[in-house]
Structure 1
Amino acid sequence: MGLHRMGAPEPQFITVGSGARARKIAYLAQPAAREGGPGLLWLTGLKSDMVSTKAEALAAWTAARGLGFTRFDYSGHGRSEGRFEDATISDWLEESAAVLALTRGAQVLVGSSTGAHVALLLLRRLIATAPEEARRVPGLVLIAPAWDLTELMWSQLPSEARREIVELGQWIRPSPYDPAGYPITKRFIDDGRRHLLKDSPFDPGRPVLVLQGAEDLDVPIAHARALASALPGDWVRITEIADGEHRLSRPQDLVALYGLIGELI
């Protein structure tokens, strides 16, 4: 699904990084109805893009309420530059911080799957390095949070896949969403291990509201429940959907999502 389809808005671009690492990141910014009004920053899932079902639904929901809505494609995704196999969690974290800096007013971070992990890393970074920016984030809403993504991936890999990653540098992961599958590189796994929440827990200091399907095969419900152990301070609250799967993009799932966001706006 791409932004070039009929009637789709054209993105703007911001350059992130410098020298050989510079890349153009595509984003869409829907301003709040009033100057400096509150909004959402949407962080997509792995191999998704900023015009996915949930992103488009949130664009309509926020517009109807006069809320800002900012979304972007990670490098190696959608309309942004770069190859997927060259990108790392560090890159996506840097890109998320750069796009957040384009916004004004309070911004709820809403992350799906991999985006939930990036949202948590972004908040941890802001608290440590940019407390003024952190104060603009009243809370997080996380959908099927794949926190500590690379360790979650590694734990789910068959032994031959692990061996290929270590010995050959990458393995092509089959995907029900992409017939070509996608490459998981040793560089991606190694970089992700520099960003583990279990190794550096932090007090988020604001609500972290989780929406999780009990039938999710990609992010098991036990993994979502364990997030509270990495975030001291009793800030995590999980809403579990008994028949929910990983995508959580059915109408009833979206209603539950809007309810959580509404608590923070």
Structure 2
Amino acid sequence: MTESAQTPSFVSPEGRRIAFHLTEGVGPAVVFLGGFKSDMEGTKAIHLEAWAKSAGRAFLRFDYSGHGESGEVFTDGAIGDWFEDACAAIALIDGPVVLVGSSMGGWISLLVSRAMPEKVAGLVTIAAAPDFTEDSMWAGFDEAQKAELAKGQVALPSDYGEPYIITRRLIEEGRQRLVLRDPLPLPFSVRFLQGTADADVEMSVALRLLAHAEGGDMRLTLVDGADHRFSDDDCLALIVTSVEEVLARAG
């Protein structure tokens, strides 16, 4: 384990440097998985960390490769890489975890849940975006964009700053990681959270996920007027309440 700018990091089995912050406490540990091109310094991650410290709860936040303080270049990455990064980060924790996945992190958390259900004690997703590279990006490209992508990459406008550079590898590799096409057992308590004013992930995605996944304790909560950031005081309180409920049911 190394130190970079006072942020601890480790090298994953795939050779990528992953920055993280791990708060010691009782388990199951809560693990926050961030969104596409976001980082572990976001409002939701920091709010959950503060809650975990006050509750004496173990908590992990980390940056995927190509994100935040971790190594690698963003445009070299793909869903599978970030899934591997998440698995490597979760391996830092002994015992079960409760995953909190935001946007793309919702997709990653579902991949983790499918790959290691014995490790996952519960799941909370926030504006989950499963399969977005295929169902949102690729499905939304016009012929000119698809032709541009075939050459290597295409730029998409973003409401969050500079354009997103979408690579051919991101789209093609994402097809190997889809979760809404095959059975998706979630054998633990699950809470899906979704805002009705989300301009990035439509409510139909949340409804499709709820209908597709299989589990004995799954609930979807729609918040009227909440946007994709899902970070105002009420939304943050709902996230904490949902995590506490899943933890309570995890025993």
Say whether the fold is shared (TM-score over 0.5).
yes
Residue 175 of structure 1, CA deviation: 1.0
CA distance in 2, matches of 1:17, 1:90: 14
Q: Report whether the alignment pairs 1:221 with 2:203.
A: yes
Q: How big is the alpha-carbon RMSD for the aligned residues of Structure 1 and Structure 2?
A: 1.6
Q: 1:158 to 1:252 in 2, by over 3 A?
A: farther
Displacement after TM superposition at 1:237 (Å): 1.2
Q: Residue 44 of structure 1 contacts residue 115 of structure 1 at CA under 8 Å; is this kept in 2?
A: yes
Residue identity in the other structure for 2:45:
A
Q: Do residues 16 (structure 1) and 12 (structure 2) align?
A: yes
Structure 1 residue 173: deviation in Å?
Answer: 1.4
Matched, 1:27 2:23: no
1:70-93 deviations in Å (ceiling 9; x for gaps): 011011100111111100111111
Query: What residue number does 2:33 align with?
Result: 43
Letter in 2 for 1:210: F
Match of 2:72 in 1: 82
Q: Which amino acid is 2:109 matched to?
A: A
What do residues 198-246 of structure 1 show as CA deviations (whole Å, max 9, x unaligned)?
Answer: 2222211112211100011100001111002331235431110011110
- Aligned mates of 1:182, 1:83 — CA distance in 2: 13
Write out per-residue CA displacement over residues 44-69 of structure 1, whole angstroms, 9 at most, x where no aligned residue: 00111001111111111111100011
In the alignment, which of 180, 196, 208 is matched to residue 178 of structure 2?
196
2:62 corresponds to 1:66? no
2:114 is aligned to 124
Q: Is the 8 A contact 2:104 2:128 kept in 1?
A: yes
Corresponding residue for residue 244 of structure 1: 226
Task: State the secondary structure of the residue aligned to 2:69.
Answer: coil
Paired residue for 1:154?
138
Instruction: Say which is worse superposed, 145-154 or 232-241, in terms of deviation.
Output: 232-241
SS of aligned partner of 2:221: strand
Instruction: Give the CA deviation at 1:104.
Output: 2.3
- Superposed CA deviations along residues 88-135 of structure 1, whole A, max 9, x for unmatched, are 1111111111111101233110000000000000110113xxxxxx2x
Partner of 1:137: 120
* TM-score for the superposition, normalised by structure 2: 0.92
- In structure 1, the residue corresponding to 2:214 is in which secondary structure? coil
Tell me, in whole angstroms, the C-alpha distance in 1 between the residues paired with 2:99 and 2:208.
20
Write the deviation string for residues 145-180 of structure 1: whole angstroms up to 9, x where unpaired: 0011212322233443223112x21111111112x2
Worse-matched range after superposition: 47-56 or 147-156: 147-156
Is structure 2 residue 159 aligned with structure 1 residue 176? yes
- Whether the 8 Å contact between 1:138 and 1:206 is mirrored in structure 2 is yes
Say whether the 8 Å CA contact 1:139–1:207 is kept in structure 2.
yes
Report the count of equivalent residues.
243
Any unmatched runs of 5+ in structure 1? 128-133
Alpha-carbon separation, structure 1, partners of 2:182 and 2:34: 23
Change (3 A) 1:149 1:10: farther
Q: C-alpha distance in 1, partners of 2:160/2:84?
A: 26
Match of 1:114 in 2: 104
Identity over aligned pairs, percent: 38
Q: Which runs of 5+ in 2 are unaligned?
A: none
Distance of 1:139 and 1:99 partners within structure 2:
17
